[in-house]
Chain A
Amino acid sequence: MSTVTLPAIAPVDSLPITPAPGDAPTLSTASLDEESREWLRALRADGSERDAAVARLHALLVRAARFEVGRRRQALRHIRGDELDDIALEAADDALMSVLRRLDDFRGASRFTTWVYKFALLEAAVKLRKRAWQEREVPLEPETWNLFASAALEPGREAEQNELLREVQQAIGDVLTPHQRRVLLALAVDGVPIDVLADHLETTRGALYKTLHDARRKLRRHLDECGYALDDLEAH
């Protein structure tokens, strides 16, 4: 077996991202496109003008949240349509609060509408994942776990992948902390959505992903030291 050097994994969130044109300490609205500038002006106005802008914004967010529901409707067909629409409206309401609270965070790196849509899509996606798992048990720290029981091996690659799976299984038991093992198995093997697991463990999605990232890095480092070549693995 040839020894390979795996690409280094940088600490999460330490990568150099090219600043957007509006990333100055004080944003000049002159750098924004006309439509985005008008949105900001109206939402920062007083009285009926602001109310009207908030209502228009809410309508956009409802449309985005319903789009997300529509994308997932097939997988959620056991949930009544009016409940799904209630989820979309609730997602739009929560997204509206987030957008208004974070209005000063908008740096003009995209159009204002693209920036706000992501809040509605996120809120709807998180609520729908949680709703889909509402009646399911979140598996944590099973007494026995076996990666081979979860894998459908193709005959041609069986020997090679058997060996790698065996090494990964051993490493999960040997090199990970109990918390890393619990998080990795729940997310990567049992397919628990990260928002559902975050709620269950009373933590945040970002903190859980950091744990997952650290666990994966430990496993890769261990496999590297054992001489396994991993460059051709798809991450998902």
Chain B
Amino acid sequence: MERHDAEQLLGRLLGPAGPEVGCETCFDQLDRYVELELAGADPDAVIPGLRAHLDGCPACREEHESLRAFVAGA
């Protein structure tokens, strides 16, 4: 079993506090979210619950980080 910081472990067990979208909606909206972020807009006002999902889903969080980094450098 991997060792985790206790607070991080509790965070992973309990997930985000606020409302969140699921993985499918996250994927559907991810390109729009990233472009809003890179444009300096407020993506969380337009796509509520996606940030919370990124906090709670490591796989979607990785894909968000990759898309953002790739588009920013493309």
**Is B truly associated with A?**
yes
Q: Which residues of A contact B74 (CB under 8 A)?
A: 113, 117
Shortest beta-carbon distance, B16 to chain A, in Å? 4
* Partner-binding segment picked from A38-46, A81-89, A157-165: A157-165
Interchain CB contact under 8 A, B24 and A236? no
Interface flag for A29 (CB, 8 Å): no
Could you tell me the distance between the alpha carbons of A173 and B4 in the complex, rounded to whole angstroms?
Answer: 20
Shortest beta-carbon distance, B36 to chain A, in Å? 9
Shortest beta-carbon distance, B45 to chain A, in Å? 8
Interchain CB contact under 8 A, A13 and B22? yes
Give the interface residue-count category, chain B. Answer: 35 or more
For chain A, residues 4 to 21, give those with C-beta under 8 angstroms from any C-beta of chain B: 6-10, 12-13, 15-18, 20
Interchain CB contact under 8 A, B48 and A157? no
Known: A18-B47, A121-B67, A125-B66. A9 touches B11 (CB 8 A): no
Shortest beta-carbon distance, A186 to chain B, in Å? 11
Report how many A-B pairs have Cβ atoms within 8 Å.
Answer: 191
Give the number of residues in A that approach B within 8 Å (Cβ atoms).
Answer: 69
> Other CB < 8 Å A-B pairs besides A230-B14, A234-B8, A235-B15, 18 of them?
A15-B49, A67-B70, A110-B31, A114-B31, A114-B34, A117-B31, A117-B67, A118-B67, A121-B66, A150-B9, A151-B4, A151-B6, A165-B6, A189-B12, A205-B59, A210-B22, A216-B15, A235-B52
Q: Which residues of B contact A212 (CB under 8 A)?
A: 15, 56
Interface string of B1-27 (1 = CB under 8 A from A): 111111111111111111111111101
Q: Which residues of A contact B5 (CB under 8 A)?
A: 151-152, 154
Interchain CB contact under 8 A, A9 and B59? no
**In-complex Cβ contact of A125 among B14, B29, B59 (8 A):** B59
Interface string of A158-183 (1 = CB under 8 A from B): 00010011001000100000000000
Instruction: Specify the main secondary structure of chain A where it touches its partner.
Output: helix
Could you tell me the distance between the alpha carbons of A114 and B69 in the complex, rounded to whole angstroms?
Answer: 11
Interface flag for A58 (CB, 8 Å): no
Known: A13-B22, A20-B32, A71-B69. A161 touches B6 (CB 8 A): yes
**In-complex Cβ contact of B27 among A118, A220, A236 (8 A):** A118
Shortest beta-carbon distance, B44 to chain A, in Å? 11
Shortest beta-carbon distance, B28 to chain A, in Å? 8
